[in-house]
């Protein structure tokens, strides 16, 4: 792995005057960036990302990857940089988790975090816990750095939530990364960044949670934009269990990128749950860099009203004997719109790959909508791969059966919906978080 920051291609882009600042909305967001002088080692990354953003435009429905997700409501909002605010976290603290990092409007809060009593070989904190050499080796080195929202995040790079697990270190309890948005008088933007490195033969559990500050009134009407990027490096024979939870306000916008790099013999699992948000998008990209990796992806999207939630995943299996399994579920009510596009790439060198993908969707209203596209691209000739999608509604005979057992119709519907969701929620390793998510799912689906 290179120890130098790989931004030469970005710097070599011809800076034609007519191509600079192609998108006024992006230019406005770039103008909200503030940079700390102490982060000189990040300046090259930021400069390259700024140039890339200035050459870019916000995706629209004419772009194949965004054709079902209209971002025009996002472009109509004038966002200002979110500032740190003092808050209370009593409702968000997970008692089963010992280590916690908290960022408020993208700003690290050491007072709300808990990073004491760390295991030897474990580093949890902000960017200060890593040397410049390690930062240059891993930060912004994943595939997909030139995607416009990822580049926008890098252009605003000021601090990072860091979890670094040394060789042969086993972390028994999950580490909680909590990103809280507190809207001000005007719409705000925050751009959190996460860097996770699991060295060879290590094991780690991670809970990455995005939420709004629920102690204030009218949080459903507060407008803010979270543009987050998470890079996870799973080195040889390492294991990472990643749980990603998004619970944004009903008027919020959320775009998230998870870039995972798996070395040989490594194991990575992701349990991603998205509830709420006016428009939310999660780009999950996994790159296999060695043979015999295991990848498990579980996802749940629950939306109602006029919300839109989009999940795009891309799994590149470039080496032999890779095993992957993906199950993504959507529960869609009212006039909400769900989108799922899962891609699995199996080129010729990836012989003896075993990959499966399934998207299951439950529509709770005749006006709810799902666009689903499971996708396999295979050129290897000795593989076992399968993919599929189902779209259904609550069956009358199922409801009748429960009613015949003394359960009224409303509770019968609730029981069926919760059962559909619990298959994914049960993968979350913390009981308190599972219970909280189930309550959120119930409140949304009962609207």
> Whose CA is closest to 23, among 210, 120, 152?
152
Which residues are CB-neighbours of 302 under 8 A, at least 6 positions away? 273, 274, 275, 330, 331, 421, 440, 441, 444, 445
Helix (H) / strand (E) element for 150: namely helix 148-155
Q: Where are the beta strands (DSSP E) in 119-238?
A: 122-125, 161-165, 175-181, 188-190, 193-198, 203-212, 224-234
pLDDT on residue 41: 74
Residue pair 147/283 in contact by the 8 Å Cβ criterion: yes
203 confidence band (pLDDT: 50, 70, 90): very high
- Angle (CA) 420-423-425 rounded to 5° is 105
Residue pair 440/428 in contact by the 8 Å Cβ criterion: no
The span from the CA of 322 to the CA of 383, in Å, is 10
- Token pair for 379: 């050129």
Beta strands 161-165 and 122-125, pairing class: antiparallel
> DSSP state, 147?
S
Residue pair 83/182 in contact by the 8 Å Cβ criterion: no
pLDDT on residue 155: 94
Long-range contacts of 393-397 (CB under 8 A, 24+ apart): 393/362, 393/363, 393/364, 394/362, 394/364
Q: What are phi and psi of 411, to 5 degrees?
A: -70, -30
89 confidence band (pLDDT: 50, 70, 90): confident
pLDDT on residue 442: 86
pLDDT at 2 over 70: no
In the chain the first and final C-alpha atoms are separated, in Å, by 50
pLDDT at 343 over 70: yes
> Whose CA is closest to 174, among 246, 94, 238?
94
pLDDT at 447 over 70: no
Least reliable range by pLDDT among 25-34, 122-131, 364-373 = 25-34
pLDDT at 6 over 50: no
Average pLDDT, the chain: 90
Distances (CA, A) of 135 to 42, 50, 191, 425: 9, 19, 18, 34
The span from the CA of 100 to the CA of 206, in Å, is 10
Least reliable range by pLDDT among 12-16, 106-110, 151-155, 372-376 = 12-16
Angle, to 10 degrees, between the axis of helix 43-54 and the axis of helix 148-155? 140
């Amino acid at each position: 792995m290179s120890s130098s920051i790989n931004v030469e291609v970005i710097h070599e882009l011809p800076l034609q005057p007519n191509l600079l600042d192609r998108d006024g909305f992006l230019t406005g967001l770039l103008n909200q960036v503030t940079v700390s002088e102490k982060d000189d080692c990040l300046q090259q990354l930021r400069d390259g990302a700024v140039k890339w953003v200035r050459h870019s435009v916000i995706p629209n429905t004419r772009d194949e990857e965004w054709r079902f997700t209209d971002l025009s409501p996002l472009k109509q909002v004038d966002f200002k940089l979110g500032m740190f605010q003092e808050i209370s976290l009593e409702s968000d603290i997970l008692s089963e988790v010992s280590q916690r990092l908290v960022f408020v409007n993208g700003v690290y809060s050491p007072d709300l975090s808990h990073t004491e009593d760390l295991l030897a070989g474990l580093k949890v904190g902000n960017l200060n816990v890593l040397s410049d050499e390690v930062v240059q080796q891993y930060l912004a080195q994943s595939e997909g750095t030139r995607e416009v929202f990822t580049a926008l995040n890098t252009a605003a790079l000021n601090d990072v939530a860091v979890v670094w697990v040394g060789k042969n270190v086993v972390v028994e309890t999950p580490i909680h990364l909590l990103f809280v948005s507190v809207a001000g008088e005007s719409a705000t933007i925050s751009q959190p960044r996460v860097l996770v490195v699991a060295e060879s033969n290590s094991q780690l559990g991670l809970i990455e949670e995005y939420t709004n500050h629920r102690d204030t009134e009218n949080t459903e009407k507060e407008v803010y934009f979270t543009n987050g990027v998470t890079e996870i490096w799973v080195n040889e024979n390492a294991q990472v269990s990643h749980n990603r939870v998004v619970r944004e306000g009903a008027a919020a916008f959320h775009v998230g990128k998870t870039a995972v790099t798996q070395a040989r013999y490594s194991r990575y699992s992701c349990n991603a749950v998205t509830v709420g948000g006016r428009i939310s998008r999660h780009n999950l990209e996994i790159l296999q860099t060695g043979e015999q990796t295991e990848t498990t992806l579980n996802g749940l999207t629950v939306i109602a009203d006029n919300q839109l939630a989009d999940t795009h995943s891309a799994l590149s299996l470039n080496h032999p004997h890779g095993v992957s399994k993906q199950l993504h579920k959507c529960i869609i009510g009212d006039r909400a719109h769900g989108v799922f596009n899962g891609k699995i790439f199996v080129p010729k060198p990836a012989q003896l790959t075993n990959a499966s993908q399934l998207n299951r969707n439950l529509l709770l209203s005749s006006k709810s909508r799902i666009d689903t596209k499971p996708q396999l691209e295979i050129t290897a000739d000795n593989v076992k791969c399968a993919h599929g999608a189902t779209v259904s509604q609550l069956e009358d005979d199922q409801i009748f059966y429960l009613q015949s057992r003394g359960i009224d119709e409303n509770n019968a519907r609730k029981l069926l919906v919760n059962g559909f969701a619990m298959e994914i929620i049960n993968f979350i390793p913390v009981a308190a978080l599972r219970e909280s998510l189930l309550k959120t799912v119930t409140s949304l689906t009962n609207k």
